[in-house]
Amino acid sequence: MLKVNRLTKKYKNVVAVDDISFTLNQGDIAGLLGPNGAGKSTTIKTIVGLLRKNAGAVTISGCPSISREAKKKFTYVPEVPELYDMLTVWEHLQFIAYAYEVSDFEEKAERLLERYEMWEQKDKLAKELSKGMKQKVSICCSLLPDPDLFLFDEPMIGLDPKSIRETKLIFKELSEKKKTVLISTHLLDSIENLCQRVLVMKKGKIIIDMAMEEMKSKLGNNELVSLEDLFLEVTKDE
């Protein structure tokens, strides 16, 4: 589904993403982890096409990720949600429905807003929303087109506990529907029982790319060992 091959992204002299490669197959739910400044957001933004790659290739179902064909197959939730200040919540969903050519979107949009308890806010302007509410709208916008690939950059920042639980449920549903999901997050417990695969980045490189089970077995299959422990173990400085 998503193939990242020898991707490099530089900002002037700083190498933010350094020659990374990975592939996500249909139905994969992968966590993209790493300390601050590891290059996670840059990787996702380069896949989305917001940043230009310096080297390598990113393809989605065989098409270059910046092509129109590829863009029909994925949606993206940015780290800091920025909406159109003067559009209402409902108009945002309408806009996305028209942009992704989603037919009969009303019922689905209504269901999504109700799941995130945003139905009553549907006529509010984006500029009147709190940061958490904006994040909810951003997630709803990404779920509405129902693409094959979802790219989430810190989706749970600013969400209330109920919305975090709802988002986790949605991730499970996406997994059941064989959708591919890449989630970059620092909230490790939120994806611990969800991700089948973990990619750990450090200083622009992928230092770990393995199945969650494999990772746990390497650490002795101890039930007391959490993803947080594994993460701290692999990212600690030499």
Partner 1 sequence: MNEFKLLLKRDGWIIVNHFREIKQNPKRLVVYFLYLIWIGSLVFNVVLGNRNPGKIHLQLGPQIMGAGFAGFGIALIFYYLYHGTKESSTFFTMGDVHLLFPAPVSPKRVLLYSMLKQTLLYFFLYGFVILAFMPLMMQLAKINLLYFPLMYCGFIGLLLVIGPLNFLVFVLGSKYGIQLRIQQGIQALTVIIFIYLAAMIISAGDLVQGLLLGLNAPFLEYLPVIGWCKAVFMTAITGYSTYSAIALALQLLFIICCIVLSYRVADDYYEDILTATEKRSLRKRRKEGSEKSRQFSLPFSKRQHAGVRSIGSGPWVFFWRSRVEYSKNDLHPFLGLWTLLYLLAGIAVGFYGSKYAAGLTPLYIANGAIAYIIFIFSATNAAQHELTKPYIYLIPGSSLLKIISSNLTDVVRMSFNILALNISLGILLPAPLHVIIVMVVFVISFYILNLSSNFLTRVLFPNAVDQKVLYPLFLMLQILLLLVPGIITGGILAFIYRDILLSCLGISIVNIIIIGILLLLSNAVFARLEWK
Residues that bind partner 1 (CB under 8 A): 48-52, 66, 68-69, 71-72, 74-76, 78, 81-88, 91-92, 95-96, 98-101, 125-126, 138, 141
Q: Which is nearer to partner 1, 82 or 237 (CB)?
A: 82
Among residues 11, 163, 155, which one has the least CA distance to residue 80?
Answer: 155
Least distance to partner 1, CB of residue 234, Å: 30
Q: Which is nearer to partner 1, 63 or 225 (CB)?
A: 63
Q: Which is nearer to partner 1, 92 or 197 (CB)?
A: 92
Least distance to partner 1, CB of residue 62, Å: 16
Task: Measure the CA angle with vertex 168, ends 165 and 170; round to 5°.
Answer: 110
Least distance to partner 1, CB of residue 117, Å: 22
CB 1 within 8 A of CB 28: yes
Least distance to partner 1, CB of residue 187, Å: 21
Q: Which is nearer to partner 1, 68 or 236 (CB)?
A: 68
Least distance to partner 1, CB of residue 159, Å: 17
3-class DSSP assignment, residue 2 = strand
Task: Measure the CA angle with vertex 41, ends 213 and 163; round to 5°.
Answer: 70
Q: Which is nearer to partner 1, 100 or 234 (CB)?
A: 100
Dig out the tokens for 132 from the structure.
């958490």
The burial of 218, by beta-carbon neighbours within 10 Å (0-12 exposed, 13-18 middle, 19 or more buried), is given as: middle
Q: Write out the E strands in the chain.
A: 2-11, 14-24, 29-33, 55-60, 63-64, 74-77, 149-153, 180-184, 197-202, 205-211
Least distance to partner 1, CB of residue 126, Å: 8
Q: Which is nearer to partner 1, 146 or 209 (CB)?
A: 146
Q: How far apart are CA 43 and CA 41, in angstroms?
A: 5
Q: How far apart are CA 220 and CA 229, in angstroms?
A: 13
